[in-house]
Amino acid sequence: MNAARWRIRGVLSAILAACGLMGLAGCHSIDFYDQSLEQPVPPEMEPPREKSLVTLPAYRIAPPDMVHIEMLKQVPLPPYHAQAYDVLQINVVGTLLDQPINNYYMVGGDGTVNLGAAYGTVRVVGMTVEEASDSIHESLSKILNDPGVSVQLARSAGTQEITGQYLVGPDGTVNLRRYGTIHVAGKTIPEAQAAMQNHLKQYFDSPEVAIDVAAYNSKVYYIMTEGAGLGDDIVSVPITGNETVLDAISMIGGLSQLSSEKIWIARPAPAGNECDQILAVDYNAIVRGGVTDTNYQIMPDDRIIIAQDDTVALANLIATVTAPFERVAGVASLGASTIRNLQTLGRNFNRPTRR
């Protein structure tokens, strides 16, 4: 029993001691504010701006980009049969000193190649490179002593030219006509190049292709100018990688008479993510002062908003509200004037003339 009393007394003493300490400390509010929020933004999270531009991620092709394709190596798959107007590279060892055979020769319309006045023509159309070499060797053996013949295909007349500019279609493909379509949307330039070379292997022997983007049409940013109650103007501008707010303003010829100097960038976030970013722009600072703090670098899909002049917007609003009444008053005034003129005309018409 005594032990239980001592435990109760110990608990009461602890409670009284805690109350005493709270009384000595006074009444203080608990600060739940996170002081780390006042710390400066880490450098890696700072939006890029003039004098500190960043390079954009690797460009991914998308409709309606324009790509330039250059075929570096376009050799048909063996065995290739020579056709009219093909070009063969023929090299012969052991020819006459004054009439060598070491040049490019076109297969004529009759299917033969002309090796010169001393050697005549040799029919090669429909033959493979090896067969054409044997045919030339057989023909020259009648004139030369065991000539060494080498034949290579330099250009195929029946091969469609691929080099050129191509528009990426809405389905993300490039149409190479007789060589089919290749899906390039979403790929970087090296990825599209590898895909195209792999596709063309069914038509050519170890094809080599170079691809570049001729027109960057798929990555844009938007400039929206509020119209002071007369309708907003929205312009989409292709992005090349190093535009700033000042570049965007210059694209539309500067601020209009309806615009104010209140400008900001609305940087969108992925769907379902509310962490969008609003970047206020100090127009006077970046234009008249050369201050680069708010001359932000523009990213793809950015919205640059140029706010309206509130005074002009108010004047337009008043004009819009009063316009119907002014029109009614104008019609009433015109009607009254017409009636007066008719009455006057009637009195003058009925008045007798004096002689």
Assess whether 71 and 188 both reside in one domain: yes
182 within some domain: yes
192 within some domain: yes
50 within some domain: no
Assess whether 267 and 234 both reside in one domain: yes
The number of folded domains in the chain is: 3
Assess whether 165 and 190 both reside in one domain: yes
Mean pLDDT (whole number) for 208-217 = 91
| Contact indicator for 218, 89 with CB cutoff of 8 Å | no
**Residue 329: per-residue pLDDT:** 79
pLDDT band, residue 28 (cuts 50/70/90): very low
**Residue 47: per-residue pLDDT:** 86
Domain boundary among 155, 181, 198: 155
Assess whether 137 and 234 both reside in one domain: no
Per-residue pLDDT reduced to its tens digit, 237-256? 988 888 999 999 999 998 88
3-state secondary structure (DSSP) of residue 238: strand
Percent of the chain beyond pLDDT 70?
Answer: 83
Assess whether 96 and 142 both reside in one domain: yes
**Residue 340: per-residue pLDDT:** 77
Assess whether 137 and 266 both reside in one domain: no
User: In terms of Cα–Cα distance, which of 209, 224, 315 is closest to 263?
Assistant: 224
HEC states along 160-184? CCCCEEEECCCCCEEECHHHCEEEC
Assess whether 211 and 224 both reside in one domain: no
Assess whether 304 and 195 both reside in one domain: no
pLDDT higher at 324 or 307? 307
- What whole-number distance in Å separates Cα of residue 342 and Cα of residue 117? 108
pLDDT higher at 331 or 301? 301
Assess whether 225 and 293 both reside in one domain: yes
151 within some domain: yes
Q: Which residues contact 157 (CB under 8 A, 6 or more apart)?
A: 83, 84, 85, 86, 87, 107
Assess whether 228 and 255 both reside in one domain: yes
185-199: string of b/e by CB count within 10 Å (b at 16+)? bebebeebbebbbeb
* Stated pTM of the model: 0.60
- The CATH number of the domain where 270 resides is what? 3.10.560.10
Assess whether 238 and 205 both reside in one domain: no
34 within some domain: no
Per-residue pLDDT reduced to its tens digit, 40-95? 445 556 788 888 888 888 889 999 999 999 988 887 888 888 999 999 999 999 99
27 within some domain: no
Task: Report cis status (omega within 30 of 0) of the bond before 64.
Answer: yes
**Amino acid type, 133:** S
Residue found by looking up tokens 């009195």 in the block:
347
355 within some domain: no
Which domain does 146 fall in, by range?
Answer: 87-155
- The CATH number of the domain where 71 resides is what? 3.30.1950.10
Which tokens go with 200?
Answer: 């063309």
- What whole-number distance in Å separates Cα of residue 268 and Cα of residue 110? 66
Assess whether 70 and 188 both reside in one domain: yes
